[in-house]
Structure 1
Amino acid sequence: MGVDAVLGVAVLLGSGVTAGVLFAVALSVLPALFAMETGTYVHAHKLLGRNWDPTMPVVVLTSTVLAAALAFVADDASARVLFAVAAVLSLGVSAVSHLANVPINRRVKAVTDPTALPHDWEDPRPLWRRWHLLRTALSLVALVLNAAAVAVL
């Protein structure tokens, strides 16, 4: 098995985990969070978010680097283009996470008493969902492109 094939398996594993986790959150976790009273949501959000860092950033960024590397070293020209676009999309997943979802997460984690929210506190769930659905879509397209690129190697 050549370097392209080994890196191809690794990029599929990373981009598959990324897309799978984000899809599962969109499909099941988000509806559950929206069904909760606000105080319960804040408590649940804190519990759910504890183990994502640093795991998911490492998975996403490793997948991005692998796809970018394959964009340079793959023998097939069409595979190089597919890997390059997948790398850009994966970088987009990371950017949305760090620039949009993480600041919202920090704001929710800063709530000290979920039963006594300030009167001007705005529920972040709708905004968080929009950003999450964007990064989920980006990750799914990146996975499809990585898979197509590996198929033509």
Structure 2
Amino acid sequence: MTEVLGVAALIGSGLTAGVLFAVALSVLPALFAMETGTYVYAHRLLGRNWDPTMPVIVLSSTLADGVLAVAVTGTARPLFAAGAVLLLGVSGVSHLCNVPINRRVKAITDPAVLPPDWEDPRPLWRRYHYLRTALALLALTVNAAALNAM
């Protein structure tokens, strides 16, 4: 059973890292190249299918890592614990930093008419996204090492 959970944690952290890396590599530069109104419209379209898919993947992988951190012994134990902490960090950055920005952007009813106090959220969103991408890549690396150490 621990092997199955280990593979699940690896696949989940790999999916998480891959999706976040793809967004950093391709989606973010495209969003930065857009005029503000077009960006708001595109941002609203892009976010439609991430929830609840990505939170389920990240939190399921975190849970698998947490269970493995208790269930296994030896070198793999602290590695799975680190994987859980790193994925929890991905979730925390997402929910506490990126999601509130997403909600502000989605609250704009007409992308052609921005509120007078509008501040472009793209630079801040990108910083948070890079942080969670780095955490996800580290989680993938740690989970691969942990699975190898089992």
TM-score range for the pair, normalised by the shorter chain length: over 0.9
- Cross-structure match for 2:28: 30
Specify the SS of the correspondent of 2:97. helix
- Cross-structure match for 2:85: 88
Specify the SS of the correspondent of 1:51. coil
List structure 1 segments (4+ residues) > 6 angstroms apart after TM superposition: none
Task: Pick one of 84, 97, 100 that aligns with 2:97.
Answer: 100
Percent of aligned pairs with the same amino acid:
73
Alignment root-mean-square deviation, CA: 0.6
Specify the SS of the correspondent of 1:121. coil
- Whole-Å separation in 2 of the counterparts to 1:69 and 1:117: 47
- Structure 1 gap ranges (5+): none
- The normalised TM-score by structure 2 is 0.98
Q: Alpha-carbon deviations, 1:80-109, whole Å to 9, x = none? A: 000001100100000000000000000000
- Cross-structure match for 2:39: 41
Task: Pick one of 58, 61, 79 that aligns with 1:60.
Answer: 58
Deviation at 1:39, TM superposition (A): 0.2
Q: Alpha-carbon deviations, 1:116-150, whole Å to 9, x = none? A: 11222000000000000000000000000000000
Specify the SS of the correspondent of 2:75. helix
Equivalent pairs, count = 150
Task: Pick one of 117, 127, 130 that aligns with 1:130.
Answer: 127
Q: Alpha-carbon deviations, 1:37-92, whole Å to 9, x = none? A: 000000000000000000000000000000011101113x2100000011001000
Q: Which amino acid aligns with 2:53?
A: T
- The normalised TM-score by structure 1 is 0.96
